[in-house]
Structure 1
Amino acid sequence: DQADTENAADWIDDNGSETLIDTQITYDSQPSIKRNLTKKEIATTLIILKVRHKLTTRAVSDICRLLRLFHVPNAPKSFAAVKRLMEREASDNMKPDILHICRQCNNVYKDVCDDATCQQNNRELQSSIFLKFPIKDQIQSILATERNFVLHSQSSVWPNDRIAEIQHADWYRSIAENEDKSNFITLMLNVDGIAMSGSSDNSLWIFTFIMNEINRSDRYKLQNCIFGGVWPGPQKPSREQMFAMVKSMTDELQSLENENVYFIRALGDRFVKLKVFLIGATCDKPAQALVQNTPEPIAKFGCGRCEIPGTSDL
């Protein structure tokens, strides 16, 4: 109408070029929401705007103030409020199990050690804590969003004498032969410790998994990493404690080897039955010695693959 035409002229700069999009937008054809947006919906929209248009934190905070100036219900006060809300939502969706490792028998428990022979001692000594995260829920979360994902049954044929990916290795091929009638994905485990400071023995140990069926350029991105567990220290775990932590994750991994239904975005938003197999681990030598319960790498028989004694050259 005439009013819209006059208002549109106000958006033409001094050089005569329009600063608005040239294409005509028919707003009547756009679906409208006949309710107030929730805090989560507004926060999600602001995060998408920030990423898509590379907005600064200050810019998002200004948008929040503008929304509140127009009395938009549930509008956040600032980007800090948006961040807190999204972090709270993320933590609610991935709550770890707080497991205790008994100092006497190295039994893993949630409340009280069920070994009657060491319950009394367990009350006197503070047990170690291990944070175990649900693996299956994280797999589902990744498959529901990741686009660069290909099942083995859909991948191209590769010559047996060449290896360009882990899917071409003998161990992976053997799983494919055994599961020729089932869809499956494979995981790689990484275990590593992080020193909290250079002047103390305090360390943090993290267990992570990655999916080999995700494109190699994307599989190591943070959003595609699966957190198996965290050992918060303060000291380096003993071999018995490492065994207890690995055992707690092994129980879930064994259950994942049975078929479970997953929603996969990369396969056309379909529900697919999948089996999950852990096929390997990548660790530095000290972590490998802990995980495999082998001698330290500087020991005389420190190799994890042979029994040839090592030598020391002074």
Structure 2
Amino acid sequence: MTAWQIDYVVKNKFSRPGHPLLKVLGVVMHWTATPGATDENEKAFFDGADGGGSRYASAHIFVDKDSARLIIPLNEVAYHANEKPSMISKLRASTSYYTSGNANLNTIGVEMCVEKDGTIHAETIKRTEDVVAELCRQFSLSPENDIYRHYDITGKNCPAPWVANVGAFNEFKTKVRAKMMPEVIVESIANSDYISKTLTVKTDGLWFYNTPRWDVKGGSSAKGNSFIVTEELRVGGYRMLKCHDGKYRTADPLHVDINPKPSDWPYRVNIDNITHAEAVDIVQLIGTNYKGAKVFGEAK
């Protein structure tokens, strides 16, 4: 099942000229800037002989909070990213039938619909992540390198929220990458003894994760940085802790410390002034009475 429904507009010179894409080298992100319009509204607007009010403009896919709609086939040109002549881009190309707007010849245009208050709904962004993840899989694209804002191609203020806040755009790409990865089992631990306690980083450059996955690194924290734990999870069978900054970190005692100590936090026990044989008996006794314990000893 695809992340979008197919609802093509008729061929017309303004929105769907029928020119073949040369290849797909990237996905260009837009916002509609038409408050309150849905993907159905946008399809209707770009349909017909005058496709978009006799204006050369369109995009392949429109996404709102409820659905996503493919209105131009993914092997055809849409007029969504007309490059400025001065722009130098790896997306440039030339053909006998189309000599301007080179990014239109080798990119897919995705438009996010805008709410009545001028914002992009969180569900619209979430659905757009699904759409772009599917496009990246289909065309072997890299979320980190092959997803562009319209702004990156032409300098236009689009999508405006991601021009103003590049961090939100980078977070979108990170989530697209996560959705392309194999599914992992994530379990939130109820009544966790770790919540509200302080996690302190013991290893300089310790990785954190923007999503609960071990295979999508988000950045690193410095030794001594402290965070409040807000959630305990099991991710792929290993404990992961969500912190108050929204990032996820390991709970491995080699790399972090937790205070106050949770009830299951590991302890190292040293026993002096007994014989080697007595120490062996104690180790065996612990292993017998605490089945889940990893217990060992070594002679001094």
Give me the TM-score of the superposition, normalised by structure 1.
0.27
Which is richer in helix?
1
Give me the TM-score of the superposition, normalised by structure 2.
0.28
